[in-house]
Amino acid sequence: MIFTFLFMATMVVTGIPTALLFIPWCWMTGNVLPLYRGTRFMLSSSCHMAGVRFHTEGLENIPKDRACIFMSNHVSNLDPPALISLIPGRTSAFMKRALMNLPILGTGFRQGEFIAVDRSGSPTDAKNSVTAAQRVLAKGVHMTTFVEGTRSPDGRMLPFKKGPFYLAMSSKAPVIPVSIHGTEYLWHKGSLRMHPGTAYVTFHPPIDPASFATREELMRAVRMAIASGLPEWMRT
């Protein structure tokens, strides 16, 4: 449990001053970048202290002049810190609505324009989330989503949710498929015990939603791209 303790302790030691300094600053100035950069430092420092290293490929595939939608598989609680630490520029993300109601953290998420989602399956809620994400993309901020909607219990890819593909087809923003593996061993779903080691993150070439006639065709293309960067046993 020592690595879990180091991860959590670093989160607290770096997170408290980040919140105390930059949440009020964002209120006063409307500038969220200091809070976002402080959060990235908190996450990357926590992973480093816990012995987590990132082996990254494909950063050169990310367009420098457009907001993109990053679509990734999801196998561990380490996946969000990995992507937020590695994605160039600022990204928003979809997250459970309950997290938006947490004291202090929820305030930071709202200031960062993270998008609350419900798991009720309500079409109205889904439409509202997509509309909010379109506004974020229009500001030049990336969107990040774990397209399976939840962590895989064993590392194998789950069916994809449709919402991110509604967003891609309506916004026409480039889709960057992302493959993550290794984190399933470093912090397994359902466990409190972290382990040091290497997480592998691959950013694939952008996919243009306008090249596909249907959401289903786009979904298949993104799934194939993500699978191509995973070990064979994770692809099914």
Where residue 225 falls among pLDDT bands split at 50, 70, 90? Answer: very high
Instruction: Report the DSSP pairing between strands 175-181 and 197-203.
Output: antiparallel
Q: Tell me, yes or no, whether 16 lies in a domain.
A: no
For residue 134, give the CATH number of its domain.
3.40.1130.10
Q: Which of 171, 149, 169, 146 minimizes the C-alpha distance to 67?
A: 171
Average pLDDT over residues 201-212: 97
pLDDT at 62: 96
Reported as a single tens digit per residue, the pLDDT across 165-189 is 999 999 999 999 999 999 999 998 8
Q: Tell me, yes or no, whether 28 lies in a domain.
A: no
- Could you tell me if 11 and 52 are in contact, meaning their C-beta atoms sit under 8 angstroms apart? no
- Domain holding 212, by residue range, is 53-234
For 101, the token pair is: 């109601």
Q: Tell me, yes or no, whether 41 lies in a domain.
A: no
Residue 236 in this model has a pLDDT that exceeds 80: no
Sheet of strand 175-181, all strands in order from the earlier edge strand to the far edge: 52-57, 197-203, 175-181, 69-72, 142-146, 91-96, 115-117
Reported as a single tens digit per residue, the pLDDT across 112-124 is 999 988 766 667 7
- 103 or 141, which is more confident? 141
Count structural domains, the chain.
1
Q: Tell me, yes or no, whether 36 lies in a domain.
A: no
Q: Tell me, yes or no, whether 125 lies in a domain.
A: yes
